[in-house]
Structure 1
C-alpha cells in the first residue's frame, strides 16, 4: 500500500527529485496544480487529495523551494495516504468544511451540494463537535491552518484556484509549524566506519576530525542545494571482521546515503555488505585485490570506489626510488642488496613480481622476507637481522605505527649503513610523537599523501584552527577530500537520493583535493597513481616519498611536488 512520500515538483508540474518513498505515490492528476503552486510561489499550503471517484485520501503539504530563480521555481511536496480522515470526519463533512473554509454561508453550501440548509447546519454542528471548535469560523480557521480542505474542490465549490487562494491566506500564521517541519529537505548523510577501537585509533581520530571539518565547511556554504549534510560515525577495530560487518550494517540501518571508511584488514567483509545494500561506498584500503573484485563484477560491486591507488605500487616504487638516489649520486649504497619485509594483512599485494623485474633491470639483488612472528616482536627480530646483515636498504612492508616504531627502536640500538624505507605509518602524527628526534633520516612513502602546496597548506591551517593540532600527511587529507567527492556527486546528480545517479557522477568526477587528483578512470574504480615521468599528474595522485628531516616531513619525490632533497641518515657511519 502507498504510504508516505516526499518529492520536489517544478513549475511545469514535473517531479524533479524524490526524497522519500516512490514518485508513483503522488497522484499524477495533482501535478498540474502543484506546478501552479510553484509558478505562483504560494508560500505554504495543505489539503487533502480525495477525488470523488476514489474511496481514499492523501494528506498533502506544500512548501516552496529556496531558489529565487523563476525558471527553476519548485515546491516540496510531502504526502501521507490516510486510513481515515482527520477528526474522523466523513467525506460529506469534509466537503462542507471545505466550503466553510472558502467563506460560503450555509444556504449557499446547501444549494451547491443540493441539500437543505438544515442538513448543512446538522453537518456543521457535527464538524464543530468532532474538531472541538467553538464556532463555524473557528472550524474554518482550523481547516485552513491544518490543511483539512478537499481537493479537487467539491462540485460547485469553484476552481482549484481556490486552494491557491487558501494557501496565500496562510502567510504569517502561527500554526503551520508541522507543515514547515514536514517540508524541510531531509539531510543527506555520510556514514563513516573508522578505526576508533583497537589498532590505529590515532589514525581514526584523524579521519573523524577531517570528515567533521569538511562537513562543517560544506554546511556553512549552504550544504547541497540548501540541504544540510550529516555525518554518522561508527567506531571499529579494523582487524575484527565481526565489528566491520556490524558497523556497516548499523550505518545502512540508520539510512545513510553514502558509506565511507579508511583501511580495513577485513575489507572483503565491507565489500560484501555494501554489495547487498547497493549504496555508494568510498574506501581507502589501497588493496589491489579489492579493485580486482570490482573490475570483474561491476554489476555487484559497481557502487564501490577506492579513493587511492593500490598497494601493488609500493614495492616497485621502492626499487625505483633507490635506483634514482643511487644513479643521481645522492646516495652511495653499501651493497647491491635490497630487502622487502612483508608483514601486513593477508590481502596485501605490494607488487613484488613487478619490483623483482625492476630490481634485475637496474642491477639490484632483491630479497623478499615474510615475518615469522606478527606484531612488534616480529619487527624487533627483523631489525636485529638488518643490523647484522646490513643490506643497502630495507622496505618495511607494514602500515601500523606500533610495528614501524618497534622496528626503528630496535634497529637504532645497533644501526648499519642501511636506508630504512617505511610505508605510510609515519604519516600519522603519533609516529613522530613517539620517535622524537630518532625519526630523522627515515624515508617513507604513501600512495596518497597530503601535498605541501598552497591548497594543502590552507587545509592544514583550517584543521589546526578547528582542532588545535596539525593533521597527518595522509588519511586526514583523504577523509577531507572524500567528503568533497561525495558533495560533488550529490550536487550534479538530478536526484542525490538515487544511488545509481550518484555512482555515475563519481565515475565522471575529476577533483583536485589536498591529496592530489581523484579520477576513477577505469573499471577498477580506483584512483590513478603518478610517480614521475610518463605519468599524468593532472589525472592522478602522486606516490609521495618523504624523508623526516629535523622533525619535519620533506617530500623528496616526485616533481613538481618535492620540497626537499635527500639527506644521509644520521645513523650512517662516516665512510
Structure 2
C-alpha cells in the first residue's frame, strides 16, 4: 500500500555513475537522501547493466527510518547516454506481510527449503514452516512455487538479500546483488562534508542481529542529531556513517572494519559480534577509539594481556560474568516462597553455544550450591543447528518430566529463544523461567503472547525507568514512531554521547591519544546508567555486583513480564514493581 504522504520519486542514474561522480538532484527529498546515503541503491542502479535484465523490481529496506521503498530499475539507451531510470515510492508491505515474512518469502522465491531457510536465518524449521503457511494464506497462493512466482512478478523480494547472493542464482534479484557486490554507498562519500567529524555506526542491519542493530543505530542517530543542533564538535558537524555490519563470521567482521577504514571514520560505535576475538583484533588495527557493548570477559583478558595493542577498545556494558551472581541474587528473592511451598531448590541451565552466553561457570555453581540450590543440569543450545527443532523437542520432553524450580535460559537470537519458550509453555513446563537480555527487544513479549507471562529476565545494561530514561524514551518514540525497547537503543544513544564528549575535551577528534585519555577519565550518567573506564580493563562495571555505588555503574536490571508489560524488580533504587508468582 502506498504512503500518500511520500510521493513517488523518479530520477536518472548514468550507467557509469560512481560514488565520487554522482550527486542527487537539487531539492532531493529525505527519502532519496536516506536511500542513497545508507543503502546500496546507487550500486543496484548501475549494476543492472551487468545483468541480462532491463527491468528489475524489488523492495528496499531503509535501515534508519525503518520504512520500505518499492523500487523499479529500468536500463534504457533512449537518452543521450545510457541511464537507469529509478522509480520508487514509500510503501507499507502489501498483504500485511511482516518484515520477517518478507525475508522468508524472498528465500522461498529462491527455491530454498524450510530447513535451508531456517539454517540461513538462525531459526528452526518449525518456525519457518509456520511462517511459510502464513505467507501462503496472506498471498492467497496455493503452493510455495506459486508464492515464489507472485513474489518475483510483484517485486515482493527484499534487498539487501537476507543471505548470500549465490542462493539466488536463478533470479534477477540475485544477479543484481552479485553485480552490485563492489564497494557500495555504505562506504561512499556521497554526502560527505569535508570538515565533518565522522562516526562509524557498525551495527548489523540485516540477518538475525538486525533488530538490535537497528535500535542501536537509531539511538546513536538521535544523539548525533541532538548534538549537531547544539553545535556539533566545536562548530564541526558530526556525520554518522551507518554500516550494515556483518557480525556473523570472522571474514564478515574483517570486511566491516575494512569499510570503516575506507570511510576514514574517526571513531566507531558497535554492539556484539559472533566472533569476539576477530572483532577485537580488527578494531585494534584501526587505531581509533572503538566503543562496543559486547559484555565480554575476553575484552578484559585481552586488555590485561596486551594493553598497548588493545588500548583503543572501550567496553560500554559490564561483562557477562555478572549474570551468574545476578541469578544468585534473584534466587535469594525466591527462596522463602519456595521453602514455604515445600518446593525443592533446584535449578537447570540451557545455554547458548555462542560467545558471552555461558553463565553456569564454577563460580556461579559454587554460589548456588552454597545457598542450598541443586544444579540439575547444564544443556548446550546451538541456535544455528540444522536439527534445532529436534533439540527443542528433546529439551521440552526432558523438562516436562522433571521440571526444576527455576530454569535459566541464555539465548540471544530472538526467534530461537521464542521457539524454545513457546515450546516449554505449550508443554506446560512448570518452572519459573529466567532468561537474559533478549526480551529487551521491543516486540519480543508481543511475539510470544501469553507464553511471555511471568518470564523473568535480566540485562547488565538496560534503560532506566527514571526521569532520564523516560525523557529518552519519549524523544525516541517521537522521532521513530515506536518505543526504544529496554537496552540497545539506550546504549547507542549513550555511546554517541560518550565518544563525542571525549572529542569535545581534545584539541581535535584526529588526536587519538587525547581522545583515549578523555575516554579513560569519563564520568557519564546516561539513560542506561553510569559509565566509567578508569580500570585497567577499560570496561563499565555492574551495580551491585562490581560496585556498591549506583552512581558508578550500569545497574544489573531485573525485569518480569506482567500482563504484557516489563516491570523492573530491581536492584534498588531502580525497581518499580514486585515479583509476581506464576499461577500454577
Task: Please classify the TM superposition score into its range, dividing by the shorter chain length.
Answer: 0.5 to 0.7
Deviation by residue 1:375-419 (Cα, 9 ceiling, x = unmatched): 453345323322221101011122221121011110111223311
Partner of 1:18: none
Partner of 1:304: 313
Partner of 2:442: 429
Q: Which residue, out of 330, 335, 338, partners 1:326?
A: 335
Partner of 1:526: 539
Q: What are the ranges of 5 or more consecutive residues in structure 2 without an aligned counterpart? A: 1-192
User: Alignment partner of 1:429: what SS?
Assistant: coil
- Indicate yes or no: 2:223 matched with 1:224: no
- Indicate yes or no: 2:425 matched with 1:416: no
User: Retained in 1: the 8 A contact 2:351–2:358?
Assistant: no
Is the alpha carbon distance of 1:474 and 1:372 closer, same or farther for their aligned partners in structure 2, counting shifts above 3 Å? Answer: closer
Deviation by residue 1:120-148 (Cα, 9 ceiling, x = unmatched): xxxxxxxxxxxxxxxxxxxxxxxxxxxxx
User: Alignment partner of 2:333: what SS?
Assistant: helix
Partner of 1:384: 397
User: Retained in 1: the 8 A contact 2:275–2:355?
Assistant: no
Q: Give the superposition deviation at 1:338.
A: 0.7
Is the alpha carbon distance of 1:347 and 1:478 closer, same or farther for their aligned partners in structure 2, counting shifts above 3 Å? Answer: closer
Aligned positions of 1:145-164 closer than 5 A: none
User: Retained in 2: the 8 A contact 1:237–1:244?
Assistant: yes
Q: Give the superposition deviation at 1:277.
A: 1.8
Partner of 2:419: 406
Q: Distance in 2 between matches of 1:425 and 1:527?
A: 20
Aligned positions of 1:542-553 closer than 5 A: 542-553=555-566
Aligned positions of 1:71-470 closer than 5 A: 186-327=195-336, 332=341, 334-346=343-355, 348-350=357-359, 352-371=361-380, 373-375=382-384, 376-377=388-389, 378-470=391-483
Q: Distance in 2 between matches of 1:369 and 1:412?
A: 20
User: Alignment partner of 2:426: what SS?
Assistant: coil
User: Alignment partner of 1:469: what SS?
Assistant: coil
Deviation by residue 1:427-474 (Cα, 9 ceiling, x = unmatched): 001312311233111000001000100110000000000000001100
- Indicate yes or no: 2:498 matched with 1:478: no
User: Alignment partner of 2:510: what SS?
Assistant: coil
Please provide the CA RMSD for this pair. 2.0
User: Alignment partner of 1:238: what SS?
Assistant: coil
Deviation by residue 1:538-572 (Cα, 9 ceiling, x = unmatched): 11011001001111111101000000100012xx4
Q: Distance in 2 between matches of 1:219 and 1:235?
A: 23
Q: Give the superposition deviation at 1:425.
A: 0.5
Partner of 2:187: none
Partner of 2:518: 505
* 184-193 or 512-521, larger mean C-alpha shift: 184-193
User: Retained in 2: the 8 A contact 1:428–1:474?
Assistant: yes
User: Alignment partner of 1:420: what SS?
Assistant: strand
**TM-score relative to the length of structure 2:** 0.64
Q: Give the superposition deviation at 1:329.
A: 7.3
Q: Distance in 2 between matches of 1:478 and 1:368?
A: 33
Q: Give the superposition deviation at 1:316.
A: 2.2
Q: Distance in 2 between matches of 1:229 and 1:332?
A: 58
Deviation by residue 1:151-193 (Cα, 9 ceiling, x = unmatched): xxxxxxxxxxxxxxxxxxxxxxxxxxxxxxxxx9711111021
User: Retained in 2: the 8 A contact 1:449–1:473?
Assistant: yes
User: Alignment partner of 2:269: what SS?
Assistant: strand
**TM-score relative to the length of structure 1:** 0.65
User: Alignment partner of 2:309: what SS?
Assistant: helix
Q: Distance in 1 between matches of 2:319 and 2:437?
A: 13
Q: Distance in 2 between matches of 1:450 and 1:331?
A: 34
User: Alignment partner of 2:566: what SS?
Assistant: strand
User: Retained in 2: the 8 A contact 1:429–1:472?
Assistant: yes
User: Which structure has the larger Rg over C-alpha atoms?
Assistant: 1
Q: Distance in 1 between matches of 2:277 and 2:239?
A: 26
